[in-house]
């Protein structure tokens, strides 16, 4: 029975942001940029911060063309990262620019996605569809165009898995603590996740 006299508010879906930090050091410029943006997540959102170097993954072994091409369920750090990835509605890859690409820990994490797509029962590719990927990076030098290969890697990864592309937050920083002044940084990052 429908009561036409009342309007029931439908709560907004809860968003859960997973921040994957790919830097080789704690508190670097990319992490600072990500934390500044995360200070203004949409209301009701939750977040989880993971430093990839604290969860070292084994070298990726490509089994796609051997035997049945399936992978065993991940264990250890890989299992933790798979669970965190699947729990997120919004995946934020925070990687400094290293040689025109993502950092080694981020690249290894993405390589493991190849295996996760082939673990029976995980349905990784189907479950990632519709989630949102974001990029946060700080780069050295004067050429912002050098960031394009890093962004391209993440955009194409999102497209392949039918994820939404949320956008990129990019800032120049040559040395530690060489990021934009705090007021300018906060102003630019405040609207990023909205």
> Of 44, 41, 13, which Cα lies nearest the Cα of 194?
41
pTM, two decimals, is 0.88
Whether the Cβ atoms of residue 91 and residue 48 lie closer than 8 Å to each other: no
Q: How does pLDDT run across 14-47, given as a tens digit for each residue?
A: 999 999 999 988 888 899 899 989 999 999 999 9
Give CA–CA dist 55/174, Å, rounded.
27
Task: Judge: domain 16-186, CATH 3.40.50.360.
Answer: yes
- Domain spans in the chain, listed from the N-terminal domain onward: 16-186
Tokens at 95, concatenated = 């990687």
* Local confidence pLDDT in tens for the 194 residues of the chain: 344 555 555 455 699 999 999 998 888 889 989 998 999 999 999 999 999 999 999 988 777 766 666 888 999 999 999 999 999 999 999 999 999 999 999 999 999 999 999 999 999 999 999 999 999 998 887 777 889 999 999 999 999 999 999 999 998 877 776 666 666 666 667 788 87
């Amino acid at each position: 029975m429908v009561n036409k006299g009342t309007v029931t508010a439908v709560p907004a879906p809860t968003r859960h942001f997973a921040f994957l930090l790919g830097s080789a050091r704690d508190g670097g410029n990319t992490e600072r940029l990500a934390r500044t943006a995360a200070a203004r997540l949409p209301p009701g959102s939750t977040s989880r911060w993971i430093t990839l170097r604290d969860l070292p993954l084994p070298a990726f072994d490509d089994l796609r063309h051997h035997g049945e091409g399936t992978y065993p369920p991940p264990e250890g750090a890989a299992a933790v990262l798979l669970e965190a990835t699947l729990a997120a509605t919004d995946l934020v890859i925070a990687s400094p620019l290293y040689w025109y690409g993502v950092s080694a820990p981020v690249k290894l994490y993405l390589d493991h996605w190849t295996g996760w797509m082939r673990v029976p029962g995980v349905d990784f590719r189907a479950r990632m569809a519709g989630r949102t990927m974001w990029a946060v990076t700080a780069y050295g030098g004067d050429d912002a165009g050098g960031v394009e290969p890093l962004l391209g890697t993440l955009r194409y990864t999102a497209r392949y898995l039918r994820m939404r592309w949320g956008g990129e937050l990019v800032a120049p920083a040559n040395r530690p603590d060489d990021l934009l002044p705090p007021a300018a940084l906060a102003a630019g990052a405040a609207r990023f996740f909205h």
